[in-house]
Amino acid sequence: MTVTENQPAELAKGDSTSGRAARPAARLGWLDGLRGVAALLVAIHHFGLLKWFSWGENFEKNFDLGIFAVMLFFLVSGYIVPASLERRGDVRGFWIGRLFRIYPLLIIAVTLSLVLLPKGYSAVPSQVTDRPFWAYLANLTLLHEMTNIASALGAMWTLCYEMVFYFLVSALFVKGWHRNSAPISVFFAGAAVLLGAWWTPQMITPKEPWVAPSATHHLIIATVLIMATGLVLVLAGHPELVRLGALVLGSLGTVLLFFNARSTFYESMTILATMFAGTAIFRAEKQQINRLLAVICCAFVLTAGFLAGYMYNHGKALDRTWTGSWEGFSLAYAAAWAVFGIGMLLRNRRWPRVLTWLGAISYSVYVVHIPILWGTWWFKDKVVHFPTTGAGRWLLPAFFIAMVLIISHLTYKLVEMPGQKLGKKVSKALDRRAAARQESALAPAEA
């Protein structure tokens, strides 16, 4: 028996499909295309390629390529992640899939970065290696961004928001509130605009970046214990335990998001609003909610995100959003919505295979490009001196991008796919054990 078939009463209050969303195609080409482009742009952004052009620095100040790419990522995640949960209606299966998809590659990438990259070219920052126990413990939760600890790999900060989103989606699902994506996104967007200047980040731990005194240690310990408890309950498989575990995780994510996110409050709220707006778009497309409601919701979230940047992304806030101006935040945010909209308009067309392939390896691109970047700098400085003038200067970025794509393809085939297959085997094995236990429990009663 799956968890869906024996969910608590709250889940059954919706319509007959509340546990199962309409099944999307096995691979949605337009989403893969958008995700692939976003991942590659993040790599290009971190390489600093735009600054190689005379106009690049001014362009980056007024249009942050990183913000554009990650907001596009968040829209795609919001659209597809809840669908993957609701398609089976199995919270335990969802979490097994997430864990086996996310962690194997991350662990291998961080480990190889520590082992292979020489001193002075480490992809893992000193804020992590100087306090390894607390730093790796926090990074293992993927909530490090909200416990005052630096990312083991720079791009991992977005995974913290993804993890909080998974927590909230799971909690909403077991309560039967998952169809409320539109009002939830409006709530987060409204909070970004109304409270952006008032609500201060990092209320629990010190404001100084990457400091880990006793207050931070205590928060990390509490986070690890609560998250572990929630996951153990979810993985136990019993419907009431799954429900309790999902609510524990949702509560943890909410507290950390509101009270100790490193970034500005308006950026944190905008990120969650964006992901839930992506979910609202999915629900409108599948006729689960009124399309006019979804349009109003998305218009509000887009406007609020733009205004939040305009009103608050100035001065010291720039250090927390890692942008150069309010335009850099707001214009990039609006552009991410525009590109996502174009992708939706073209969703029924066949997308180029190179883009769908890039989408398939996008998680690998996102994770491995940071160590490859540092390896590229080492290779340039110590092994091969690339030309710095003329057409030859483009050999270095070409080498970097080629290495990112080649290694990402290999890690997708050798790490991601086996990890996902193993996750499916574990999930099926646990389902079989649960079914066997139920049959043995029913056997005496039938006799």
Contact status, residue 62 vs residue 328, Cβ threshold 8 Å: yes
Q: Kindly report the CA angle at 146 between 141 and 150, in degrees rounded to 5?
A: 80
Looking at residue 11, its pLDDT comes to 38
- Any domain includes 425: no
DSSP element (H, E) containing 249? helix 239-260
Please determine, for residue 390, whether its predicted confidence score (pLDDT) is greater than 90. no
- Any domain includes 383: no
Please determine, for residue 4, whether its predicted confidence score (pLDDT) is greater than 50. no
Rounded to an integer, what distance in angstroms lies between the CA atom of residue 212 and that of residue 361? 35
Rounded to an integer, what distance in angstroms lies between the CA atom of residue 425 and that of residue 21? 23
The per-residue pLDDT for range 65-94, each reduced to its tens digit, is 999 999 999 999 999 998 888 888 899 999
For residue 265, the SS3 value is: helix
Confidence of residue 442 (pLDDT cuts 50, 70, 90): low
What's the whole-number mean pLDDT along residues 438-443? Answer: 67
The per-residue pLDDT for range 313-351, each reduced to its tens digit, is 999 999 999 999 999 999 999 999 999 999 999 999 999
Residue with more model confidence, 130 or 20: 130
Looking at residue 443, its pLDDT comes to 62
**What domain range includes position 183?**
4-14+55-350
Looking at residue 8, its pLDDT comes to 38
- Asked which of 180-184, 193-197, 294-298, 432-436 is least confident by mean pLDDT, the reply is 432-436
> Measured in whole angstroms, how far is the alpha carbon of residue 69 from the centre of its chain?
12
Confidence of residue 435 (pLDDT cuts 50, 70, 90): confident
Considering its fold, how many domains does the chain have in total?
Answer: 1
- Any domain includes 28: no
- Any domain includes 37: no
Please determine, for residue 10, whether its predicted confidence score (pLDDT) is greater than 60. no
- Any domain includes 368: no
Please determine, for residue 12, whether its predicted confidence score (pLDDT) is greater than 50. no
Report CA Rg, the chain.
Answer: 22
Contact status, residue 101 vs residue 419, Cβ threshold 8 Å: yes
- Asked which of 261-275, 284-298, 382-396 is least confident by mean pLDDT, the reply is 382-396
The per-residue pLDDT for range 157-166, each reduced to its tens digit, is 999 999 999 9
Q: What pTM was estimated for this model as a whole?
A: 0.90
Among 267, 277, 135, which residue's Cα sits nearest to residue 191?
Answer: 267
What's the whole-number mean pLDDT along residues 109-130? Answer: 93
Confidence of residue 22 (pLDDT cuts 50, 70, 90): very low
- Asked which of 20-24, 214-218, 356-360 is least confident by mean pLDDT, the reply is 20-24
What does pLDDT average to over the chain?
90
What's the whole-number mean pLDDT along residues 28-55? Answer: 94
Looking at residue 84, its pLDDT comes to 85
The per-residue pLDDT for range 204-220, each reduced to its tens digit, is 988 775 555 888 999 99
Q: Is the dihedral angle over the CA atoms 328, 356, 275, 251 positive or is it negative?
A: negative
Provide, rounded to the nearest whole percent, the portion of the chain with pLDDT above 90.
76
Confidence of residue 112 (pLDDT cuts 50, 70, 90): very high
- Any domain includes 38: no
Among 260, 235, 234, which residue's Cα sits nearest to residue 143?
Answer: 260
- Any domain includes 420: no
What's the whole-number mean pLDDT along residues 182-190? Answer: 97
- Any domain includes 242: yes
Rounded to an integer, what distance in angstroms lies between the CA atom of residue 199 and that of residue 151? 24
